[in-house]
């Protein structure tokens, strides 16, 4: 079976990690890359070619027109995702796009409709949901090992003070989708909606602005029948990244939940009942394997990361960021 040939749009740090993960992934290869600066793309191609030629382009349209690229991985700033995805869809290239796929619900609806109209495979690169430890947690829940889910807590927070030096960084720049909600709020939110396999019936939030006008901290409460989830995202302070899923019979914990390699099952007396450990250190390998399986199956949407969930998060981002802007 021939390899799936990837082209990478964007040549930054996350793209470099993806390129390294391709080397560890069966049935794939890096065929081409593109950046707005040709020198940058050429340097990326040289660094990640593994001794094989990788074509480099100085604009994204040339990458889309490469006949030897099967799928495009989009790793650019958030505000460019939708446009680059549309370029790929229009030439029939499968799309794997970094999270958050969209910055608002309008572009989400437009791009999703186009992909479905053209029958082009497309998936948000929410790697958390493809991790074996996450799948194990869901398996324990399906098997009733913690009873009915009643509470979930997940936080992704780090401290990146806004200084004269850092305020130009994308995380503090509103023009490129900076702020906590889009950059990291997607992790706890889609962690929860994946566990409960539905958007919340009610959504509550509090947002605190930073000095550049982006959202520095977002607290979200997701309300389900019989269950409540708390999600916290911040670029203004550190919090523990261990997620807990609590039920009527016990609970599950996952350290560094967004990239978890382990899952621990406890009863309500805090006794450890089971533990799962993933031996694969690079979690992107699981995301790539799932996407490749999607392409080889002939399907256009992932059952683990449906496009409806990307739209749902975009709608919640509309609410949070709309409140911030007044």
Active site residues: 99
How far the first Cα of the chain sits from its last, in Å, is: 54
Q: Name residues whose C-beta falls within 8 Å of residue 239's C-beta, 6 or more positions apart in sequence.
A: 155, 156, 157, 232
C-alpha span between 104 and 318 (Å, rounded):
6
Q: Is 304 exposed, middle or buried (0-12, 13-18, 19+ CB in 10 A)?
A: middle
Q: Which residue has the tokens 């799962």?
A: 276
* Closest C-alpha among 246, 242, 276 to residue 261: 276
Number of Cβ within 10 Å of residue 16's Cβ equals 15
Q: Name residues whose C-beta falls within 8 Å of residue 259's C-beta, 6 or more positions apart in sequence.
A: 127, 128, 131, 283
Q: At what angle do helices 132-142 and 186-196 cross, to 10 degrees?
A: 40
DSSP-derived letter for residue 4 is E
C-alpha span between 119 and 295 (Å, rounded):
12
Residue 232: alpha-carbon gap to chain centroid? 16
* Closest C-alpha among 79, 75, 94, 99 to residue 15: 75
C-alpha span between 305 and 312 (Å, rounded):
12
């Amino acid at each position: 079976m021939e390899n799936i040939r990837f082209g990478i749009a964007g040549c930054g740090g996350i793209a470099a990690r993806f390129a390294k993960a391709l080397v560890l992934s069966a049935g794939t290869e890096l065929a081409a890359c593109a950046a707005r600066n040709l020198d940058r793309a050429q340097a990326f191609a040289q660094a990640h070619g593994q001794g094989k030629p990788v074509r480099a382009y100085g604009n994204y349209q040339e990458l889309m027109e490469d006949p030897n690229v099967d799928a495009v991985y989009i790793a650019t700033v958030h505000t460019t995702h939708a446009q680059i995805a549309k370029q790929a869809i229009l030439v029939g290239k499968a799309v794997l796009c970094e999270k958050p796929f969209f910055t608002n619900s309008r572009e989400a609806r437009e791009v999703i409709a186009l992909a479905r109209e053209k029958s082009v495979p497309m998936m948000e690169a929410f790697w958390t949901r493809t991790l074996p430890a996450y799948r194990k947690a869901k398996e324990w829940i399906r098997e009733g090992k913690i009873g009915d889910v009643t509470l979930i807590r997940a936080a992704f927070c780090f401290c990146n003070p806004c200084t004269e030096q850092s305020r130009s960084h994308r995380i503090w720049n509103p023009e490129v989708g900076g702020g906590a909600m889009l950059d990291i709020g997607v992790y706890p939110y889609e962690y929860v909606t994946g566990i409960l396999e539905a958007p919340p019936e009610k959504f509550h939030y509090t947002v605190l602005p930073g000095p550049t006008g982006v959202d520095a901290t977002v607290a979200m409460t997701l309300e389900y029948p019989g269950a409540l989830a708390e999600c916290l995202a911040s670029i203004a302070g550190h919090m523990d990244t261990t997620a807990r899923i609590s039920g009527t019979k016990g609970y599950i914990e996952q350290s560094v939940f967004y990239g978890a390699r382990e899952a621990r099952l406890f009863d309500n007396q805090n006794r450890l009942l089971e533990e799962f450990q993933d031996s694969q250190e690079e979690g992107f390998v699981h995301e790539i394997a799932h996407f490749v399986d999607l392409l080889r199956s002939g399907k256009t949407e992932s059952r683990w990361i449906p496009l409806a969930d990307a739209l749902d998060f975009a709608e919640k981002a509309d609410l949070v960021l709309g409140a911030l802007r007044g």
